[in-house]
A and B are shown apart, each in its own frame.
Chain A
Amino acid sequence: MQIRVDHASPVAIYAQVAAAVRREVAAGRVRHGERLPAARDLADGLGVNIHTVLKGYQELRDEGLVELRRGRGAVVTARAADVAGPRQAVVELVEQARRAGLGVDEVVRMVREGMAT
């Protein structure tokens, strides 16, 4: 798997790490039961702070995409393959909505209308 971050981007590094993992999972390049790189290895590899990587991993854990186990690191969950794509789409939707100045209610209404068809 490959993880890229753009230091010039306004998106926080930890969010970029989480997004990169979601894309790899959605593309099937990382599967259920496989381990993400150790936080220290990823931090060294990208040249960023380990806490930045950990924050990204914690976001993925909160979304149910990985389990963080002591000694084993971040392991991809069974749901991840199904959930990763929609989660990443939500991240991008939220970004676009914010840029366009749309509020939460309007975005939720759009999603409801989309899912009703």
Chain B
Amino acid sequence: MRSRARAVLVVLVAPALLLLTVWAALEAGALAPDRPLGDVMWWQAAAVDDLQVLLVGTAVVGLAVGAVRLLTGHRSAPGKRELAGALTWTWAAGCAAYVVAVVVSGSGPWGPVVAGALAGVVGGLVGAVVVGRAPTSSLVAHGAVPSDAPRASLRVGESAMWSGWTRARWWVYAAELLVAGPGVANTVLLAPEYGLLVVLLVTSIGLYLVATTVRVSVGEAGLVVRSLPLGVPRVVVPLEHVARADVVHVSPIADFGSWGYVPTRLGAVVVTREGPALQVRRGDGSLLTLTVDDAHEAAALLNTLADRRRSRERVAA
């Protein structure tokens, strides 16, 4: 319970306090612009009140998003806390930095926007780290892997490693490129005032595609899921946590109402196409589902390795 309290503190309370502090500084005049803000922010006749509304709005939306991520989905979904911490800290740090930069620097809209973006990125990274990890003792699986789960024929003295991707069909990536190129070019040329919105939209779709194209491997380290391009964030299900691995048939919209990363009540899902998926059940019953090709090979190997690891532990004990 202590670690859950810490997560709530970091994810919800700390960002709220940051935004409240900036709001109070504006209210008390400690942060006071020395010239009209109209030519600094995008809209005319802006005032300190507008900045305060921005802070409150960010607090409400950002914290709501973080609270939803933290409090829904499966209790032990990996990366849940880190993601929630990153979300709320990105919003809070970005907004706070933007507001302070607008008031203090008195320069055009782009300086504070850049300051806000940088602060958001740094804040998000710090938030993900500071939130702390959820306890993992309940994830350990006990007993042998059930006999109806797929198995690989691995001889004594053999090691094996399986590697695959959660790739979407080629036309998904092609569609993004087709939309991105002309869409961005048209907007920048014909309606530059909307340029930022379109660029953000297209970039975030692209980033989401990248984020959901992950590298999956099965081996002595268990199931390892690594994101492009930096390899982090990554999710690991060590062999000790594997209760069983299976192949299930999934369909993005029909089963989950969404494409890509879906945090369900039972666990996280990365579904990039319809068809066979690798599904791993941990000791606490939580699931991790990934649409990889050759899922049966992956499941069979994971079960066999988990079994081996547990029988080694039984012998050692």
Contacts and interface: CB of A to CB of B under 8 A. Distances in A.
A2 B297 CA distance: 8
B221 A2 contact: no
A8 B162 contact: no
A4 B219 CA distance: 10
Contact of A46 (B155, B156, B220, B231): B220
Q: Which of B155, B158, B297 has the most CB of A within 10 A?
A: B158
Contact of B158 (A5, A29, A44, A45): A5
Contacts of A48: 159
B219 A44 contact: yes
A90 interface: no
Nearest to B293: A29
Contacts of B154: 4
A114 interface: no
Given A37-B217, A41-B226, A46 B161 contact: yes
Given A41-B224, A44-B219, A44-B221, A2 B162 contact: yes
A4 B161 CA distance: 6
A46 B157 CA distance: 11
Given A44-B221, A45-B218, A45-B220, A1 B163 contact: yes
Given A5-B158, A7-B157, A46 B163 contact: no
A4 B159 CA distance: 6
Interface string A33-77: 000111001101111100000000000000000000000000000
Contact of B217 (A4, A8, A41, A47): A41
Contacts of B215: 37, 41
Contacts of A8: 156-157
Nearest to B160: A4
Nearest to A34: B165
B164 interface: yes
B267 to A, nearest CB: 23
Contacts of B12: none
A78 interface: no
Nearest to B297: A2
Contacts of B10: none
Contact of B164 (A1, A42, A44): A1
Interface in B113-159: 154-159
A47 B162 contact: no
Q: Which of A4, A5, A38, A47 has the most CB of B within 10 A?
A: A4
17 contacts: A1-B162, A2-B160, A2-B294, A4-B161, A6-B155, A6-B158, A29-B294, A41-B215, A41-B217, A41-B226, A44-B219, A44-B221, A45-B159, A45-B162, A46-B220, A47-B219, A47-B220
